Structures are given as C-alpha cells and as structure tokens.
Amino acid sequence: MLLSLGLLFAALSLGRCIPLQQAPNRSKLLLVSFDGFRWNYDQDVDTPNLDAMAADGVKAKYMTPAFVTLTSPCHFTLLTGRYLENHGVIHNMWFDTKTGVRLPYYTTQGISSWWDNGSLPIWITAQRQASEFMECLHSQGLKTGSIHFPGTKAKYQGEQVYKKVVEPALFNYSNETNWRQSIDTVMEWFTVENLDFITLYFGEPDSSGHKFGPESTQRKNMIKQVDRTVGYLRQRIQEKGLESSLNLIITSDHGMETVIKTNEIHIRKVTNFTFQDLDFQLLDYGPSGLLVPKEGKLEHVYSVLKNAHPKLHVYKKEEFPKRFHYANHSRITPLLLYSDPGYVIHGRYKVQFNKGEHGFDNEAMNMKTIFRAVGPAFKKGLVVEPFESVNVYALLCELLGITPEPHDGSLEVTKPMLRSGAPLHPAGKMPLMLGLALVLGCWGGLF
Ligand SMILES: *[C@@H]1O[C@H](CO)[C@@H](O)[C@H](O)[C@H]1NC(C)=O
Ligand SMILES: *[C@@H]1O[C@H](CO)[C@@H](O)[C@H](O)[C@H]1NC(C)=O
Ligand SMILES: *[C@@H]1O[C@H](CO)[C@@H](O)[C@H](O)[C@H]1NC(C)=O
Ligand SMILES: *[C@@H]1O[C@H](CO)[C@@H](O)[C@H](O)[C@H]1NC(C)=O
Ligand SMILES: *[C@@H]1O[C@H](CO)[C@@H](O)[C@H](O)[C@H]1NC(C)=O
Ligand SMILES: *[C@@H]1O[C@H](CO)[C@@H](O)[C@H](O)[C@H]1NC(C)=O
C-alpha cells in the first residue's frame, strides 16, 4: 500500500513537473588560493591591488588554518569544512604502512582513494545539489570548474569536477604569463560556459617562501607579482561585466616560517633509537613525523624519542592534543611527532634544505594565513576578527545556495561579512519554495 502510494506520488509529481518559470541567474563564485600566503605578507610590500580589494570588500585580520599546516590537507579543509581527522587527507603524501610506499605530492593528486575518504568536496555537492524538488523543476545542479586546485584531479564517489585543468608533472608554478592565461580561462568558463563556481590555485608565494625564506627579497617580489595578478583578475572581472554578479574570495592554506639550522632535530642520532625498531616511517617532511614501531617496540621507541630534543614533541596517537583535530583517524600511525616553529625533523639523512617551511602548530602566528572577499554579497571596507578555515565551507555553500554536507564549521562565524537584506541566492531558495508549493499541490490533488 505504502509502496504503491509512493509510486503513484512519484508518477504524479513527474507528470506535474512543468517548468513554471526560468530561474533567474544566481551569483557566481570564484575561490582563489595563493599557496603559502602568510597573513602579514602584505605588510612589508606595497600591495595596491590587495588594498583596493580590502577597501571594496571584507578582509580578515588573519585566518587560522587546520593542522597539519600542509597544502593538500588544508585545501581539502577549505573544500569540505572538516578538520583533517574528519576528512582523512592527513598528509600531502599518500602512503602505505604495510609496504612502506610513499608517493610525492603530485602523484598523490591522482590517487582518488586518498581524497575520497568520506567527505565530499563542495564541487561535487554543488553539481549534485538538485534535490527531489529541484529535479522536478528541471534544475541540473551547478556547473563547477577548477584550475590546479589540490583535489581537482581525484574522483569522488565516481564523480569529478565538470571543467578541470590539472598541471603537468613538471610545472613552473611562478610564471606570471601562465597565471594570466589561467585567469582568462576562468573568465571564459564563467561567461561562455556559464559555470557557477570555480576554484583557482597558484603555487606561489609558497615556492619562493620555501626556497629563499619568508623574509627574503624574492618572497617580497613574489608578493608584488601576486598583487599584480589580483589587479589583473579584478580588471578582467570588470571588463566581462561580472562585477555585480560574481563573488570573489582570495585565501590560502597556511603561512611560512624561517627554518632554524642550529641544534637541529636528527632522529637517527637519538641515543638508543634505531630504525630497525620501526615498520614504517614518514619523516623528512618539515616538522611532522608518522611512525609505526614494530610489534612490542612502541613503548621503547616512545620512551627514547620522548625527551630526545627540547623542540620535539612525541605522542602516542590517543594522547595527541585534541585541539589539533588531527590524530583521530584510521590513517594516523600509533606514534606522531611534531616540532616547534623553525625546527624541521630529519630522519636517517639530512635531505631538507629549504630556508622556509610550514606544517607547524596552527596556533603559531607565522602559520596564519589570509582571507579576503569582494562582491555583491559582501560588505564594503569591513575588517573582521580572525577565524578558523573550517568555517569557509559553510560560507561557500551559502553563497552558492546549496545545502552543506556535515562539517566542522559554522556559518555564524562569517555571517557578519555578508550584506543583510537582499536574498543571497534567489535561484537557490526559490525552487525549494516552488517545489514545496508543487508538492502541496500534488497532495492536494491526490486526496
Ligand atoms: C544568464 O546568463 C546567461 C549566460 O551568461 C545569459 O546568456 C543570460 O542572458 C542570463 N540571463 C539573465 C536573465 O540575466
Ligand atoms: C579511509 O581510508 C582508509 C584507508 O586509508 C580506509 O580504511 C577507510 O575505510 C576509508 N574510509 C572511508 C569512509 O572511505
Ligand atoms: C619560471 O618562469 C619564470 C618566468 O615566468 C622564470 O623567471 C623562472 O626562472 C622559471 N623557473 C623555473 C624553475 O624554470
Ligand atoms: C611562461 O608561460 C607561457 C605561457 O604558458 C609560456 O609561453 C612561456 O614559455 C613560459 N615561460 C617560462 C620561462 O617558463
Ligand atoms: C640507553 O640504553 C641503555 C641500555 O639499555 C641504558 O642503560 C641507557 O640508560 C639508555 N640511555 C638513554 C638515554 O635512554
Ligand atoms: C573519533 O572519531 C570517531 C569516528 O571516526 C568518533 O566516533 C569519535 O567520537 C571520535 N573521538 C573523538 C575523541 O573525537
């Protein structure tokens, strides 16, 4: 009885699905990330275009990234609103503790099972968002695109970003001509292809910060290049007539710290420690380490490393500080290491030569990053208090008019940035109301 009623209802509502009216064009959204843009990088360089954007929109004093402060994990937090222990992308490198295989950043981009670990990035949610009601109204979901953004290459539950550009394995992340081409592609996707939401990633100023250090002239020059690029982007938005219909967010994944080269942490040199006591190790990756001791060796390895160096912190998985929201995931190993700002962890051999590094405690000021926004949804000339990056996702969903997946942030945190009054996403809310009316109509007709 229930089943046949359901079938009848389905048939009836399909039958009544007539396009009532064309949904008005919703606002578009562009999320830009400049990797490794520390919160205060604009304070020792002239940045006229970033300043103009702040005057026209909203600027956070700074944003606190998730922990560990690494590229892929922190970008996935922006895309899902979840801490690392909840989205599962806990490192830039895919690894297998059984075989000891570790894959570098670029290769890991292509391992869907690494990314698709229970949290759906906003691209996929936006594409599928058509609820039963909206399907009834012939809504196809939103059209999304992504250029170079971490996570772009993967498939999620078999689905992927509609329009994507993935960088080749050997790619010059600093080429300004290339940056402008990416911006031109974004403009074309918005205007010709009518995409609703695009994510755009630049690998700088992270590369310059690593190579030359965060206080270097090279990093400062790169900030000038970033600023010119922001100017170019906003000029193109204006030329395309998108200024009143496009919301633009510029943010990043983490900051950058100068590496200290004295009194270094070198695990091989720790008294009574031997790599023979380990089944697996992921070391030599900035300030973090993941270890799997051999059976029966956990207490021993833990005790020899625990007080080995004043700047090194060693924890059993269950005892890792909860404030990091990092260790409660099946991919986290039984022992975890992290070091204080400036100190990287060397394993067997010293293979880390960067002058700048990240991955440190997200409470350290030099790990804080930027958040800027401008567009029809945002207030003008507003500076807001710092907030955590897990909250960005709920804002993106609100701007797109889609229902968020379960997440660790809150829209309340970013709501003060938004203009009150005007509905944010007429096209998002209206079909729901129309759908409700339709259903009521259907039921009214049935009974
Ligand atoms: C909606 O956007 C498309 C593509 O940009 C455009 O062709 C169309 O005229 C727009 N419709 C309205 C009502 O603005
Ligand atoms: C996440 O990945 C781990 C293996 O790395 C796997 O055991 C677990 O089932 C995955 N969880 C989900 C929800 O995909
Ligand atoms: C990347 O391109 C820029 C020019 O845009 C050039 O100055 C730089 O040397 C290139 N870097 C590498 C590693 O090729
Ligand atoms: C920079 O990028 C442009 C466009 O992709 C390319 O033509 C040029 O050769 C690149 N320059 C360098 C130095 O890599
Ligand atoms: C190293 O091991 C030896 C032998 O078990 C022990 O006597 C010594 O105290 C240990 N040293 C440290 C620093 O743990
Ligand atoms: C750890 O994660 C599980 C789900 O994987 C959850 O049920 C549990 O509450 C979490 N524990 C803590 C202390 O957050």
For the stretch 247-282, pLDDT in tens is 999 999 999 999 999 999 999 999 999 999 999 999
User: Looking at the predicted structure, is the pLDDT value of residue 28 above 80?
Assistant: yes
- Tell whether ligand 4 has an atom less than 6 A from the beta carbon of residue 271: no
Same domain flag for 144 and 190: yes
Summarize pLDDT for 41-90 with one digit per residue, the tens: 999 999 999 999 999 999 999 999 999 999 999 999 999 999 999 999 99
Q: Is residue 133 a part of any domain in this protein?
A: yes
Cα 157 to ligand 2 centre (Å): 13
Same domain flag for 394 and 303: no
Nearest CA to ligand 2 atom 9: 117
Same domain flag for 187 and 207: yes
Cα 272 to ligand 5 centre (Å): 6
Same domain flag for 386 and 399: yes
The Cα–Cα gap between 102 and 100 comes to: 6
Same domain flag for 205 and 248: yes
Phi, psi of 344 (to 5 degrees): -100, 165
* Ligand with smallest separation from the Cα of 241: 1
Nearest CA to ligand 4 atom 4: 178
Residue 136 confidence (pLDDT): 52
**Where is the domain boundary, 300, 334, 353?**
353
Residue 129 confidence (pLDDT): 80
Q: How many independent structural domains does the chain possess?
A: 3
Q: Is residue 421 a part of any domain in this protein?
A: no
Same domain flag for 406 and 330: no
- Tell whether ligand 5 has an atom less than 6 A from the beta carbon of residue 304: yes
Same domain flag for 187 and 53: yes
**Where is the domain boundary, 322, 353, 384?**
353
**Shortest-distance atom of ligand 3 to CA 176:** 5
User: Looking at the predicted structure, is the pLDDT value of residue 438 above 80?
Assistant: no
Nearest CA to ligand 2 atom 4: 331
Summarize pLDDT for 426-437 with one digit per residue, the tens: 444 444 444 444
* Ligand with smallest separation from the Cα of 157: 2
Q: How many CA atoms lie within 13 A of 128 on its CB side?
A: 14
Kindly state the percentage of the chain with pLDDT values over 90: 85
Q: Is residue 317 a part of any domain in this protein?
A: yes
In what helix (H) or strand (E) does residue 246 lie, and over which residues does it extend?
A: strand 246-251
Q: 5-19, 256-270, 312-326, 349-363: lowest mean pLDDT where? A: 5-19
Q: Is residue 424 a part of any domain in this protein?
A: no
Residue 302 confidence (pLDDT): 98
Nearest CA to ligand 3 atom 3: 175
Cα 119 to ligand 3 centre (Å): 36
The Cα–Cα gap between 237 and 198 comes to: 13
Same domain flag for 113 and 252: yes
For a mutational test of ligand 4's pocket, the pick from 177, 185, 229, i.e. the residue with the most ligand atoms closer than 8 A to its C-beta, is 177
Q: Which of 71, 108, 125, 414 is catalytic?
A: 71
What CATH code is carried by the domain that includes residue 325? 3.30.1360.180
Same domain flag for 17 and 32: no
What CATH code is carried by the domain that includes residue 395? 3.40.720.10
Q: How distant, in Å, are the alpha carbons of 259, 314, 342, 364 from that of 263?
A: 11, 18, 11, 20
Q: Is residue 423 a part of any domain in this protein?
A: no
Query: 285 by DSSP, 3-state: which?
Result: strand
Residue type, 282: L
Residue 140 confidence (pLDDT): 59
Residue 312 confidence (pLDDT): 98
**Where is the domain boundary, 311, 326, 353?**
353
Residue 420 confidence (pLDDT): 80
- Tell whether ligand 1 has an atom less than 6 A from the beta carbon of residue 241: no
Q: Is residue 151 a part of any domain in this protein?
A: yes
Q: How distant, in Å, are the alpha carbons of 306, 311, 315, 338 from that of 270?
A: 10, 13, 16, 15
- Tell whether ligand 4 has an atom less than 6 A from the beta carbon of residue 185: no
Residue 139 confidence (pLDDT): 55
- Tell whether ligand 4 has an atom less than 6 A from the beta carbon of residue 177: yes
Same domain flag for 300 and 374: no
- Tell whether ligand 1 has an atom less than 6 A from the beta carbon of residue 107: no
Cα 5 to ligand 2 centre (Å): 39
Mean pLDDT of the chain: 90
Residue 167 confidence (pLDDT): 96
Query: In this structure, what token pair is assigned to residue 190?
Result: 């918005």
Summarize pLDDT for 112-165 with one digit per residue, the tens: 999 999 999 999 999 998 544 555 554 559 999 999 999 999 999 999 999 999
Same domain flag for 220 and 322: no
Residue 133 confidence (pLDDT): 52
Same domain flag for 339 and 395: no
User: Looking at the predicted structure, is the pLDDT value of residue 7 above 60?
Assistant: no
Residue 26 confidence (pLDDT): 75
Nearest CA to ligand 4 atom 12: 175
Rounded mean pLDDT of 207-222?
98
Active-site residue flag, 71: yes
**Shortest-distance atom of ligand 5 to CA 303:** 14
Cα 174 to ligand 3 centre (Å): 6
User: Looking at the predicted structure, is the pLDDT value of residue 23 above 70?
Assistant: no
Kindly state the percentage of the chain with pLDDT values over 70: 86
**Shortest-distance atom of ligand 5 to CA 272:** 1
Cβ-based burial of 446 (10 A; exposed 0-12, middle 13-18, buried ≥19): exposed
Q: Is residue 168 a part of any domain in this protein?
A: yes
Q: Are strands 197-202 and 144-147 parallel, antiparallel or unpaired?
A: parallel
User: Looking at the predicted structure, is the pLDDT value of residue 171 above 60?
Assistant: yes
Q: Is residue 425 a part of any domain in this protein?
A: no
**Shortest-distance atom of ligand 1 to CA 190:** 5
Summarize pLDDT for 404-415 with one digit per residue, the tens: 999 999 999 999
Residue 391 confidence (pLDDT): 98
Domain that includes residue 67, residue range: 27-256+362-414
Other Cβ atoms within 10 Å of 209 Cβ, number: 30
